[in-house]
Copies of this chain bind each other. A is one copy, B any other.
Amino acid sequence: MTGIKDVALDVGLSIATVSRALRGQPGVSADNRHRIEQAAARLGYVPSRTAANLATGRTRTVAVVVPYVSRWFFSTVVHGAEQVLSGRGYDLLLFNLAGSAEARHRVMQTHQLTKRADAVVILGLQPTPAEQTWLADHAARVVLVGASVPTWPSVTIDDEAASVTAVAHLAALGHRRIAYVGGSAEEALDFATPRARLVGFHRAMSESGLEADPALERVGGFTVAGGLAAGHDLLDLDQPPTAVFCASDEMAIGVLRAARDRGVAVPEQLSVVGIDDHEMAQFLDLTTVRQPVAEQGRQAALQVLALLDEDPPEPVPARHLVLETELVVRSSTGPAPAGGAAYGIIAGRGHRS
């Protein structure tokens, strides 16, 4: 491994000068700077970040903490963040919690984060008070995505508003028995999103003059399989809903499938709305509330750069940035069937094939 010393020897200058030249600092004659760059390139010299880190205290690395890397939403946010970060020479250290509380504690409350990265981006998790004070006490630079605390910058969407949009759409179509498929109560403790969406659901229902029937609320775990199970469950009710609002597209896709399984026509007999605008949504004709996903990662990365005095490529807007959502009407929603959901009685049930 050729080091800075080799370059210095090669050009017959001091280590200090080489260091300055290679980092584009002033105080090196143009001629020498040129020779140094040549030599460095010829020798295939690349500075040891580790050593630089130890000397400067900066790692040029940002940690990203994700609940589940393999989920579309999170990997897409990571992608967005990575794009702007790598453009600025920052590397990305990925911590995948995989839903484990143990991993969460290990990652969030040790110096793994603070000693190895200049900043941390936390996706989808609501930091506990303990985590907040720990991170704050250790001078961590933190940016949140999908959650918000006063202390740190954040980028989110208005989850409550997104729910309201979705439900208002259903209400406008005449639906009155609207079911909800969301996260579980435990999840709601850790994740900001499920709770806010549930709150929004209730708010929208009452604003629309409808009653949210507790019997129509289901847990879908934000997965297709969870949505499927919830959907079956709902459709097997004696008085099934005429519409289902799902807190994510993945769950909505599961409900769509459940409807097919039960021979329930969408949207004639059942309307389904999700949130996200998942890449599959348009191919499945799913009506949804679109949120910008990669953009949330991008914006979070910009906040990080600002935090690190890196004057970001674009002006960083608000400290607590709330991105816009937008209703995308496709054909999974339609007018409420006259007389409510009749298929439970008329068409009978049973799997399709």
Contact = CB atoms under 8 A, between A and B. Distances in A.
B96 A93 contact: no
Contacts of A82: 69, 94, 96, 98
A59 interface: yes
Interface string A274-295: 0000011001000000000010
A331 B351 CA distance: 14
A68 interface: yes
Given A46-B110, A49-B116, A70-B76, 18 more contacts: A46-B111, A48-B54, A50-B53, A68-B79, A69-B79, A70-B72, A70-B78, A71-B75, A79-B96, A82-B96, A86-B103, A91-B95, A91-B112, A92-B93, A92-B95, A224-B280, A224-B283, A253-B280
B54 A78 contact: no
B69 A111 contact: no
A224 B284 CA distance: 11
A88 interface: no
A115 interface: yes
A96 B37 CA distance: 28
A13 to B, nearest CB: 22
A228 B19 CA distance: 53
Contacts of A254: 283
A251 B155 CA distance: 33
Given A46-B110, A49-B116, A70-B75, A96 B103 contact: no
Contacts of A48: 54, 111, 115
A280 B294 CA distance: 21
B224 A50 contact: no
Number of copies: 2
A51 interface: yes
Nearest to A297: B70
Contacts of A253: 280, 283
Nearest 7 CB-CB pairings of A with B: A46-B111, A75-B75, A70-B79, A94-B94, A70-B76, A82-B96, A257-B283
Nearest to A106: B86
A29 interface: no
